[in-house]
Amino acid sequence: MIDLGDRLKRLKEKWNRFPLAHKFAISGAAVTLAAMLLSGILTTTVMTELVLARRGDVVFAAAQRVLSPAVQDLGPSGSITRQGLDQLDAIMSDETFAAEFPYLDLWLSDGTILYSNAPGLTTHRLDLPPEVRRAFEGKVAVGFTDIASADYREHQLSTDYIEISLPLRDLGTGEIVAVAQLREVTTSLESDLWSLTIASWVTAMVVTSVMVVILFSIVLEGSRKIERQGRILSKRLAQSHARAARHRELKAEAQRASQSVTELTDKHLRTIGTDLHDGPAQSISFAVLRLDQIRRLSRTNERNAVVSDIEDILRDALFEIRSIAVAVVLPDIADLNLEQVIDRAIQQHVLRTESVIAVDSMVEPVHVPPEVAVCVFRFIQEGLNNAFHHGLPEGQALSAMLQRGVLKLSITNNYVESEKAERSDHLGIGLYGLRARVQSVGGNFAFIQNNGHTRLEMWLRDV
């Protein structure tokens, strides 16, 4: 069985999902309907009391002249004289008067009924009805018949009437000597009351409906504006989250790039040191050892042969030092355009290695920022070095294309599957360093090996 709290919670969740305009329409309609019902009831009640009071004043003015003479000459026992009774009977015998006021009772202050056209009630003593008691206080009391009262049962009435209680005064002293209670047929008054009630309710409904429609249109416009602003804010928030995520990614990439630059610098220095130690330093050490041999030789021809060997050793060491310097030191490319930078990198590699490279270049002679020129030069230098050291002599190719601001460089070569080498550094900064360098200028980098072919690619936009 579902708990009442869970139901209320679900209803609250559904309510919270409603748009603001719908919430206003539902709550506003409920409150307005309740206010309209309350206003209609109060208006009807007030109008009824006003109509009854007005009716009592009219009847009092007319009945005072007709009924007051009948009670001016009360007998010693407080009874109406014969003449007074005849006057009252004559009044109630009038068909016009009786059609509108079918019952008439005259009360004394002790509850005695002096006169009644209802059979058998004259001289009876009953408890004074509230309206009669008010009339003895000098007021005209008007109200609908109380069907639960003893007076109603004694008269054996079966329908509802308007009871009008009028004080009758002694013309000489002005004292209230009796109270006349007239019972009026409600047909005409009910018709008037119904007309007023319907008119008041229709007026309230029209005014309320117009007010609700105007307010709903205002709230609907505000709700739509809030929803639009909410969608805009949600979109901007999502964009902010995306930018924040991208910022975090870029920050992480920058940290990794900074760390990799440090690691690559250390590795580069170790590589240079290793190359110098294992190459030129060993050759020079060997040449120094041969110098000691010259001192021990006495024959000229033998010393000349050793000197010739030392010259060859030093020449080889010098060549290795120059090769290392060429790989490390960047040539002057500041004044070169992009086409010339690509040609310079290819020419330098061909001079060093005497390799045959198939070049397909479709690059216009445009000038690029220095960091882009350096990136392009290093990419070609390292890519061709890798192709030379780790690939087959045949099949080395370079393609360059600049189209719609996008630069694409690709270096391909063939290799033997069984002799596939690891991605190690030789005389450059390695593939990992190339990736970091390309990404540092906003480019993309790819290295693919498959089916005996190696392809090194980079893309750079907004060149």
Express each pLDDT in 394-436 by its tens digit.
Answer: 789 999 999 988 999 999 988 766 544 444 444 345 677 788 8
Question: Rounded CA gap, 400 and 40, in Å?
Answer: 89
pLDDT at 426: 42
Q: Report the Cα–Cα distance between both ends of the chain, in Å, rounded.
A: 70
Angle value at C-alpha 417, between 413 and 422, nearest 5 degrees: 75
pLDDT at 99: 83
Residue by residue, pLDDT tens for the chain (463 residues) are 456 777 777 777 777 777 777 777 787 778 878 877 887 778 777 777 777 777 777 787 777 778 888 777 765 556 777 888 888 888 888 888 888 888 888 888 888 888 888 887 888 888 888 888 888 888 888 888 777 777 777 777 777 788 888 888 887 788 888 888 888 887 766 777 778 778 878 887 888 888 878 888 887 888 788 888 888 999 999 999 999 998 898 888 777 777 776 776 767 677 677 667 656 776 677 677 667 777 677 677 777 777 787 787 788 777 777 766 666 656 678 789 999 999 999 998 888 788 889 999 999 899 999 889 988 998 998 888 888 877 777 789 999 999 988 999 999 988 766 544 444 444 345 677 788 888 888 899 999 888 888 899 999 988 7
Helix axes 20-67, 82-93, angle to 10 degrees: 130
Angle value at C-alpha 413, between 408 and 414, nearest 5 degrees: 150
Helix, coil or strand: residue 334? coil
CB 138 within 8 A of CB 176: yes
The b/e string for 256-287 (b: 16+ C-beta within 10 A; e otherwise) is: ebeebeeebeebbeebeeebbeebbeebbeeb
Express each pLDDT in 311-362 by its tens digit.
Answer: 877 887 777 777 666 666 566 787 899 999 999 999 988 887 888 899 999 9
pLDDT at 428: 42
pLDDT at 424: 42
pTM beyond 0.85, yes or no: no
pLDDT at 240: 92
Question: Rounded CA gap, 422 and 386, in Å?
Answer: 11
Number of C-beta neighbours around residue 144 at 10 A: 13
Residues forming a β-bridge with 180: 106, 166
pLDDT at 445: 93
**Secondary structure (DSSP) of 398-411:** EEEEEETTEEEEEE
Express each pLDDT in 9-36 by its tens digit.
Answer: 777 777 777 777 777 778 777 887 887 7
Q: Where are the domains of the chain?
A: 15-185, 331-460
331-460 maps to which CATH number? 3.30.565.10
Angle value at C-alpha 323, between 319 and 324, nearest 5 degrees: 120
Please state which of the four CATH numbers 3.30.450.20, 3.90.550.10, 3.30.70.890, 3.40.50.450 is assigned to the domain occupying 15-185: 3.30.450.20
pLDDT at 329: 59
pLDDT at 1: 46
